[in-house]
Structure 1
Amino acid sequence: MAAPLRGGDLSRLRQLNALAAVGTLRSAGPLTLSALAERTGLSRPSTKEVVDELMRLGWVEETPPAQGTIGRPARRYRFRATSGHLVGLDIGGHNIRAALSDLNGEILAETRQPVQPDTPLDERLAAIERTVASCLALAGKTIDDVWIVAAGTIGVVTPEGRIRYCAAIPAWTGLDLAGHLRGMFPCEVLVENDSRLAAKSEAVRGAVRDASDVVFLHVGRRMGAAVIIGGKVHRGFGAAAGEIAMLPQAQLFDASEHLQNCPVIPEDTSPADAAGYTLAAARAGDPVALAAVERYVDDLAVGTSAMVLLLDPQVVVLGGGFSRSADVLLPRLRERLERACIRPPELRASTLGDECVVTGAIDYAVAHIDDRHFTPDVPLPTSR
């Protein structure tokens, strides 16, 4: 049981009241003082005092009355989410995506630029900078408006933001990606594995908001995975958790070749569209495409079964680019898991598709803002 507050604890009491008000305004939208007092359990005079202080610090603002309002409406207040902005990056083998959001994680602009796995390192880094600049320009912002750049990338990423190993982009191995990004952007930089960020976004705004133990399969032209244990994305001791695709016996690393090189694909089809063509042909009943899908799911089921047997998750969620064909893939995967697993988990399709990494990067940055500014042990600073 927590010790009762004493007279010398009044500053902490004010801090807790402020956090309660901020949290309520972030989740519930614009509220009157009376509504905010009711939701936080504070008296109306205490609520007014807290709101005045939050407005002085720049975290809360009064909302203008709705158009057509008759009479003098009660004042309403909201969290000032536009006091800063966040950039999320998805740095993949074939695309670089950028998204700009406010401090609540509401995405305001997105851009994308294609690259190739063999794109030289300097060109890949320059493409990252161009993609962010284009996203900011689209929203009418500059890098000075950005508090955090959070990047998700393929490969084994150390807690310091260095790429320990990356099979898909050989030039990525050993790169101090966080250091390079800090040289580009004059703000705080976070770097994390892309599959873990995708899993985080599915938990925050996607298909598994109600689940606490999850295996996330990041399926596309390459394979990745991540796990959520007890409601938290699990990084592991050396930040290498979920890298089951690195185990040859798991049959995951080259599994997409079954879909990428199917004989039904026309010769003029781009590599980016090849697997999608196979999956569409399978959906239409083409026997050659169906055979390719069966081989792909055979491989996918081996590594997935191993993760399920080890972790006993509530849900396995299929995410990434191939998740758009979950209607083709999930029934076949379910059949194989039912044969291999003691307790087959529920299977779900991502609701975010191939946007899961960039939204996960935004959610990672929002969580960092919360830890930095909105915890009981950290005094609320003046908003920038």
Structure 2
Amino acid sequence: MGLLGIDIGGTSIKAGIVSREGRILAKSRIPTAREAGVAGVLEGIKKLVEDLRERAGPGGESPAVAGVGVPGSVEAEQGLVRLAPNLGWQNVALREQLQELLKLPVTVDNDAHMAALGEMWQGAGREYGDLLMITLGTGIGSALILGGAVHRGAFGYGAEMGHVKVLPDGPPCRCGGRGCLETLASATAMVRMAERELAAGCPSLLSGRRPLEARDIVEGAARGDEVSRKVLNTAARYLGTALANAALVAGPAVIIIGGGVAQAGDIVLEPVRRAFAEALGAWQVKAVPVVAAQLGNDAGFIGAAYAAQNLLGG
């Protein structure tokens, strides 16, 4: 009996059939047909799942349940996608539609929650039931797992780290606030900081890189570029401070950092660890490890498959 996990992203849909022990039996991905609306995306998912079933083969474990991660505001109990700007969706009864389409019980949740569950089950959080996961990308995604379950808060937006205010009167954020963490520590924010330094005439290995990307900054820092190192250290200071505040409130046993930038390893993580320890100060009774995520692009569908297990009962 297999578990179907689906991770719907703004540019691609990733899915896999996973065993109850966490082994990937088959996986695939397709572009997200955003311009075709909800119906077009669902049709793509149907074909993707058919392909996965064929890949798993007649002797494979046919999925009995499905979990789906979506980038946006999700009412998990109702299976309702309230708002998913990257998909252009609003008030989509996704669970109901997918159950009809796939002929399977379906659970739906935010993609960051699913990725954190994936890391807890088969990744960097395997030894922990209490963890905080942050994903650095265009924005900052986050999820808090307490006692092995997603912590949502009373209104569904618990652990929304990307919009924690870390700099009063700081840069404006798309949420309408100012000084949010994602305006200062996301991959997008790092690029913006580097571009300001270059515009000011600071000599750098980054000069002439167009379009400039966060990975260019990481590579520059590894080669000793001062602008790149300044950007990484500045972002790390804000991120480490925010993580320390979260640790004091929630007490996670481990903090996991995901996203392409974090995969660069210690050149990114060490400044964050230093800022985190400095911000905690005397409250750091026991060191909380800050580690890189391990599952990469598979985390979302693996976590969605894990979440689907609750539909099996028994």
Give TM class, smaller chain.
0.7 to 0.9
Q: Corresponding residue for 1:194? A: 111
Task: Name the SS of the counterpart of 1:339 in structure 2.
Answer: helix
* Residue 257 (str. 1) matches residue 188 (str. 2): yes
Q: Is the 8 A contact 2:162 2:180 kept in 1?
A: yes
Deviation at 1:188, TM superposition (A): 0.8
Which is further off, 88-97 or 317-326? 317-326
**TM value normalised by structure 1:** 0.65
Length, aligned pairs only? 282
* Aligned with residue 301 of structure 2, among 344, 347, 358: 358
- SS of residue paired to 2:91: coil
1:165 counterpart residue number? 83
Deviation of the 1:170 alpha carbon: 6.1
**Shift of residue 207 of structure 1?**
1.6
Return 5+ residue gaps in structure 2 as ranges: 165-176, 196-205
TM-score (norm 2): 0.78
Structure 2 counterpart of 1:332, from 271, 274, 291: 271
Correspondence 1:96-111 to 2 at 5 A: 96-111=13-28
Tell me by how many angstroms 1:119 deviates. Answer: 7.2
Distance in 1, Cα, partners of 2:219 & 2:126: 29
Letter in 1 for 2:300: V
* Secondary structure in structure 1 of the residue aligned to 2:224: coil
User: Does the Cα contact within 8 Å between 1:104 and 1:366 map onto a contact in 2?
Assistant: no
> Residue deviations 1:143-181, cap 9 Å, x none?
x94311210122221121112233x42622322221232
RMSD, matched Cα: 2.9
Structure with the larger helix share: 1
Report the alpha carbon displacement of residue 367 of structure 1 after superposing the two structures with TM: 4.2
Aligned partner of 2:154 in structure 1 is: 237
Conserved in 2, the CA contact under 8 Å of 1:203 and 1:211?
yes
Query: Which has the larger Rg?
Result: 1
CA distance in 2, matches of 1:117, 1:246: 26
Query: Does structure 2 retain, via aligned residues, the 8 Å contact 1:321–1:354?
Result: no
Quick one: distance in 1 between partners of 2:188 and 2:27?
A: 30
Distance 1:300 1:141 in 2: 48
The 2-side partners of 1:171 and 1:134 are apart by: 26
**CA–CA distance in structure 1, aligned partners of residues 234 and 37 of structure 2:** 33
- How far apart are 1:110 and its partner, in Å? 0.9
Residue among 250, 254, 262 paired with 1:311? 250
Distance 1:267 1:124, change over 3 A: farther
* Alignment correspondent of 1:227: 144
The 5 Å alignment of 1:272-287 reads 274-287=213-226
Indicate yes or no: 2:209 matched with 1:266: yes
Q: Distance in 2 between matches of 1:146 and 1:231?
A: 23
C-alpha contact (below 8 Å) 1:214/1:313 kept by paired residues: yes
Q: Residue 89 of structure 1 aligns to a residue in which SS?
A: strand
CA distance in 1, matches of 2:217, 2:32: 23
Q: In the aligned structure 1, how far is the partner of 2:54 from the partner of 2:96? A: 24
Q: Does the aligned pair in 2 maintain the 1:92–1:154 contact within 8 Å? A: yes
Amino acid at match of 2:182: F
Unaligned runs of 5+ in 1: 1-83, 374-384
Alignment of 1:65-84 (within 5 A): 84=1
The share of aligned pairs that are identical, in percent, is 26
Going from structure 1 to structure 2, the CA distance change for 1:117 and 1:324 (only over 3 Å counts) comes to farther
Distance of 2:163 and 2:89 partners within structure 1? 16
